[in-house]
Structure 1
Amino acid sequence: MQVSMNPFGKFLAVGLLASLAGCTVVPGSHISTSPGWFLDEDESAEEAEPLPDVVQVHTITTNVLKAEPQDKAKPAPVLLEEPEDYDYVVGLGDVLQITVWDHPELTIPAGSMRSPSESGNWVHNDGTIFYPYVGKIKVVGLRVTEIRDLIAQRIAEYIEDPQVDVTIAAFRSQRVYVSGAVKQPGAYPVTNVPLRLLDAVNSSGGLTEMADWNDVTLTRNGQEYTLSLKAVYQEGNPAYNVLLRPGDVIHVARNDDNKVFVLGEVGENQPVPMTRNGLTLAEALSASGGYTQDTADARGIFVLRRAPQGSDHLIDLYQLNAKDATALILADGFDLQSRDIVYVTAAPLARWNRVIKNILPTFQTIYYGALAADRVRDLDE
């Protein structure tokens, strides 16, 4: 008995095959390497801004290997201003240690049970201290040398040629504050030794593993400034090791959000965290298992990046053609930025196979259904 397909089944099968031949709807996203890839014929101009107006395409060439490292912008000029002679100024809450030589009765001994900070002269809330024979002395805003001369001048009425020495036993009036990705965040005193950015970070225990040493914010008098600890630690740039002032707040940002996203035809689609030294395109691809040799289009390795604010476009698209594997050296010279998207597009054959894979089950169901109908009809005849 010969089985023949009914006209409807033949028509449907031919129609499905024809639809395969002209199919343009491919599962998943794709970036084409051909001109005009960004045009969508089905998209209405009123619904969205045309992609050609928001995307600027760049080719990753050997220029990335020739490019000189860019000099980081120096800190704001106001941060580079330093006094010619640094000297500590006494403030409220400081403790002074005053010694009059050859007159132990005027010097309060620290003793074995009391530290100098406990036995010294505390600067009261009215900015004064009390000292025998001298009485109240206004010391807030003065340097220790000025306080020494003032006490010697007044006590000279009672002691011939007094030898006076003044030191600070406890620095309590002025602080800087360190927060963020450091091991011991907190308040740290400003002393008679100049306190710089590196000193404050080291006093707080140093950076944690999640610290972003390129993103350090200094807040002074309500104004924020961005500094780089990398420039200090790794490059030895003294310009970033700024002199701190009382009330400064240092915040070291975390590195959690500094990542790039690797998608498309790679071993594993995943976010890749950036290291303290940055991340290149080659490193991001390697961390994701590389691009898949059997499905990826090596001509289409793309980096999508939000354009800088104020640009005449919204998206920068960088394309690397790695059809010749030696071009991958360019990937190692291309530095990624935080929140970049690395996308490896699929080869045409891989995209076609996905269309076949999705449509074939439907075609087989219809075909075998039509074949079964033919058999039933033949049996009835």
Structure 2
Amino acid sequence: MLKYSKKLVISLSLVILSGCSMIPGSHMEGIDVDPETSTLEQDLSKVKISIIDSALIARLKDSQQVGLKAKKYTPIITEGYDYVLGIGDVLSIGVWDHPELTIPAAVQRTAEFDGFRIQTDGTITYAYAANIPAAGKTISQLHKVLVAKLSQVIEKPQLDLKVVAFRSQRTYVTGEVKRPGALPITEIPLTLIDAINQAGGLSERADWRTVIFTSGEQTEIIRLDDFYTKGDLSQNRLLKHGDIIHVNRSDNQKVFVLGDVRKAGSIEINRYGLSLAEALSDVGGLNDATADANGIFVLRKRPANDEGIIADVYQLHAQNIVALVLADQFKLQPRDIIYVTTAPIARWNRLISQLVPTLQGLENISTLKTQGAFF
């Protein structure tokens, strides 16, 4: 059966490359064996074909859990997080029992004056403490410097220091979120999931499975769906200045259903996933009179691997009632191709239906000749 399936897969691939229509009932021209098709057959010898049964379903589930078990309980490290001051941050500084030091002399509190801003050179100027380096320091580090300076003129100063405006550091959320834009980095640790939530969450057209995360010169794919549905904490990230989170559209989250079905086309995978049974149902099911229920194939490209396998092909024997349950358990992946073959008797009937008009035409010509219509 697997040998027959591989021959069928090779034939299907040759049909695709030849540009022949895959719409049921359309005419397919013959394919001559040439170097190109010969090379294709060699490539398809690297295709791995499996029957969709209970053992395969269990194996696929296990393979998904292997990586998850290794990093499911790896939490993002936020302990010990301390905000680092930067240029543009605004500070509020007060000294107990010295209200005159809360606002510099000759400065009247107005809407424009909201605190002490860290200047472009990274310093702040405070009473008895001019040009104090602040950028690059934590609040506790700057607090110690100011206390040391004020101790020269005030006995045991009680200093209150806090950030009232975080303006030096930003992270960016772009793409398919409800409120894309910049988010400030504050003294509260900001994670990737927090940033998406603060941006209003994902939009209806968002790709719920993955987001692109760029930090410095490194870009990686974050499996957002694993975080939400499987509790994989390793997919979260602690953000820092300049990090970018981009949420793609879900346009490429599709599978393609071709062959002997009622309505061939593409189907979008939503955030809850899509099974083989659901995909076949969405296209109206198989053509009862012509489709081969044992010829349902799922073609899936495999990432680069040491085995040299370029694709996996899964075959469903839908004539078996149990297979319908397995079809509902078989989860599709984006860009999967589902192809339903035509039953041999239906292919024969189509061939005959194409030949009959030709034979009738020849018979009519022969009759006319007999009757003397042609000289």
Question: TM-score, normalised to structure 1's length?
Answer: 0.82
Shift of residue 182 of structure 1? 1.2
Q: Which residue of 2 aligns with 1:368?
A: 364
Identify which range, 64-73 or 260-269, moves more after superposition.
Answer: 64-73
Shift of residue 83 of structure 1? 6.1
Q: Which residue of 1 aligns with 2:345?
A: 349
Residue 38 of structure 2 corresponds to residue 48 of structure 1: yes
Give the secondary-structure state (helix, strand or coil) at the position aligned to 2:296: strand
* Percent identity of equivalent pairs: 42
**Unaligned ranges ≥5, structure 1:** 1-30
CA distance in 2, matches of 1:304, 1:34: 12
Of 154, 162, 165, which aligns to 1:167? Answer: 162
Shift of residue 34 of structure 1? 6.5
CA contact (8 A) 2:76 2:234 kept: no
Shift of residue 102 of structure 1? 2.0
CA distance in 2, matches of 1:354, 1:141: 78
Residue 65 of structure 2 corresponds to residue 71 of structure 1: yes
Residue 295 of structure 2 corresponds to residue 303 of structure 1: no
Of 44, 51, 59, which aligns to 1:59? Answer: 51
CA contact (8 A) 2:295 2:315 kept: yes
What residue identity is the alignment partner of 2:39?
E
CA distance in 2, matches of 1:302, 1:47: 21
Structure 1 segment 80-229 matched on structure 2, within 5 A: 82=77, 84-108=79-103, 114=111, 118-229=113-224
Identify which range, 81-90 or 264-273, moves more after superposition.
Answer: 81-90
CA contact (8 A) 1:218 1:251 kept: yes
- Asked which structure has the greater CA Rg, the reply is 1
Residue 245 of structure 2 corresponds to residue 255 of structure 1: no
Give the secondary-structure state (helix, strand or coil) at the position aligned to 1:183: coil
Distance change >3 Å, CA 353–CA 111, structure 1 → 2 = farther
CA distance in 2, matches of 1:247, 1:214: 23
Give the secondary-structure state (helix, strand or coil) at the position aligned to 2:38: coil
CA contact (8 A) 1:32 1:345 kept: no
Q: Which residue of 2 aligns with 1:339?
A: 335
CA distance in 2, matches of 1:160, 1:46: 90
Residue 239 of structure 2 corresponds to residue 244 of structure 1: yes
CA distance in 1, matches of 2:156, 2:225: 54
CA distance in 1, matches of 2:292, 2:108: 80
1:242-273 Cα deviation digits (max 9, x unpaired): 22222211122221111110011112101011
CA contact (8 A) 2:94 2:102 kept: yes
CA distance in 2, matches of 1:230, 1:312: 29
1:284-310 Cα deviation digits (max 9, x unpaired): 111111112111110100111223323
**Unaligned ranges ≥5, structure 2:** 15-30
Shift of residue 370 of structure 1? 1.8
Distance change >3 Å, CA 53–CA 231, structure 1 → 2 = closer
CA distance in 1, matches of 2:7, 2:143: 81
Residue 232 of structure 2 corresponds to residue 232 of structure 1: no
CA distance in 1, matches of 2:291, 2:4: 12
Q: Note the aligned Cα RMSD (angstroms).
A: 3.0
Give the secondary-structure state (helix, strand or coil) at the position aligned to 1:71: helix
Distance change >3 Å, CA 277–CA 270, structure 1 → 2 = same
CA distance in 2, matches of 1:57, 1:33: 11
Q: Which residue of 2 aligns with 1:315?
A: 311
1:130-152 Cα deviation digits (max 9, x unpaired): 11222211111111122222212
Identify which range, 295-304 or 345-354, moves more after superposition.
Answer: 345-354
Shift of residue 46 of structure 1? 5.9
Shift of residue 174 of structure 1? 1.1
CA distance in 1, matches of 2:226, 2:301: 26
What residue identity is the alignment partner of 1:326?
V
Identify which range, 262-271 or 236-245, moves more after superposition.
Answer: 236-245
Question: TM-score, normalised to structure 2's length?
Answer: 0.83
